[in-house]
Amino acid sequence: MRAGAGLALLAALLPFFAQAQAYKYIRVGNAADVPVKPRAGFALMGGGEDLDEAFRFLCDRAHGGDFLVLRSHGDDDYNPFIAKLCTLNSVATIIIPSRAAAADPTVAEKIAHASAIFIAGGDQGEYIRFWKGTPVNDALNDAIRRGVPMGGTSAGLAVLGQFIYTSLGDKPDEPNLDGRTAMADPFGPRIALDHGFLDISLLRGVITDTHFATRSRMGRLLTFLARLNYDGNAVRGIGVEQRAAVLLNPDGSATVVGHGAAYFVDPAGASGTVMQGKPLTYGPYAVQKTAAGHAFNVKTWSGDATRYTLSVANGAIRSTQAGGAVY
């Protein structure tokens, strides 16, 4: 009797479990998609308060088509914001909270019809865990190849580069891995790195980071680069401050907009000690800090920037900047 009752209860709960794993799609504007020819471009947003200029960059390249927001949790609060800011056929949010949802063919179909795609903030570990290697992943890379403009903020930016800090080692009560913690042990349990989710040619060999100055993340970007390059890769880093964005064109030219700076970090020629349980000693890193309103080119890796070098010695950053920047 007890076994039978348990099976009956399980059968009754299965629809609720299925619903919890299903995608959710919320749309405003016209119900039918409109065919347009989008123009490629990438908006790398550093997080914090949303930046109108970055969204207009994506909207302009959508040519009045259908704007799609992707997230693993949350709601549709971007829909009215974007619909008010831009002239579009529609704005929709699709919430994809599981691998089961990412395998639903309707989700990939929605992505295939998008004229611009924006990956919201949240948890990049979930994006990798839920979406990598699924039809959602394939549909996003197809969109990139078609020239669909794409952007992301915070966690959404973290997954745009070839290499990704997944945050899978983070605990709910300590989500920010600061630079000091990362440099104390470059192989610490919270430093989880992945690669090969999105294939944006301009961001191959790049790892990105966000909320840069506000959350003291220079040290962790230097740690990520030391780990990746010590392993034999040739990886550069882009760190973007809150309320700033790097607006990247297909030819590699970019402009920093908003209320902060972007940091373009190159460890080519750096060397040192990258060992588990030992503080990081590695450098030098060539840094180019590009302020809002100034330009940078990711193909030539040069721009209108303040240039200096950083080195890490026993888990502490040393700078050649006058006065020595503190991170």
Instruction: Dig out the tokens for 150 from the structure.
Output: 């794409």
Instruction: Dig out the tokens for 28 from the structure.
Output: 């405003």
Question: Could you give the CA distance from residue 93 to residue 116 in angstroms, rounded to a whole number?
Answer: 12
In single-letter form, the type of residue at position 161 comes to G
The single-letter DSSP state of residue 120 is: P
Q: For residue 8, what pLDDT is reported?
A: 53
Question: Could you give the CA distance from residue 143 to residue 230 in angstroms, rounded to a whole number?
Answer: 33
Residue with tokens 């829909």: 79
Look at residues 154, 97, 164 and name the one whose alpha carbon lies nearest to residue 126: 97
Question: Could you give the CA distance from residue 308 to residue 77 in angstroms, rounded to a whole number?
Answer: 40
**Which residues, 6+ apart, have CB-to-CB distance to 173 below 8 Å?**
none
Query: Phi/psi at 222 (nearest 5 deg)?
Result: -60, -35
In single-letter form, the type of residue at position 300 comes to T
Kind of pairing between the strands at 271-273 and 281-291: antiparallel
Question: Could you give the CA distance from residue 168 to residue 124 in angstroms, rounded to a whole number?
Answer: 8
Residue ranges in the chain whose pLDDT is less than 50: 1-2, 10, 13-19
Kind of pairing between the strands at 271-273 and 306-313: unpaired
Q: DSSP alpha helices (H): ranges in the chain?
A: 2-21, 52-62, 78-85, 99-102, 105-112, 124-131, 135-146, 155-158, 179-184, 218-230
Question: Could you give the CA distance from residue 98 to residue 168 in angstroms, rounded to a whole number?
Answer: 15
Residue with tokens 């809150």: 242
Question: Could you give the CA distance from residue 226 to residue 271 in angstroms, rounded to a whole number?
Answer: 8
Look at residues 114, 112, 96 and name the one whose alpha carbon lies nearest to residue 104: 96
| pTM for the predicted model, two decimal places | 0.92
Q: What is the residue-wise DSSP string for 270-316?
A: -EEE--TTS--EEEEEEEEEEETT-EEETTTTEES-EEEEEEEETTE
Q: For residue 4, what pLDDT is reported?
A: 54
Q: Is residue 213 within 8 Å of 172, Cβ to Cβ?
A: no
Tell me the HSE value of 238 on the side-chain side, using a 13 A CA sphere.
Answer: 35
CA distances to 180, 186, 265, 271, 276 from 312, rounded to whole Å, are 11, 12, 14, 10, 16
**Which residues, 6+ apart, have CB-to-CB distance to 17 below 8 Å?**
none
7-63: pLDDT as tens digits: 555 455 444 444 458 999 999 999 999 999 999 999 999 999 999 999 999 999 999
Residue 259, burial from CB neighbour count under 10 angstroms (0-12, 13-18, 19+):
middle
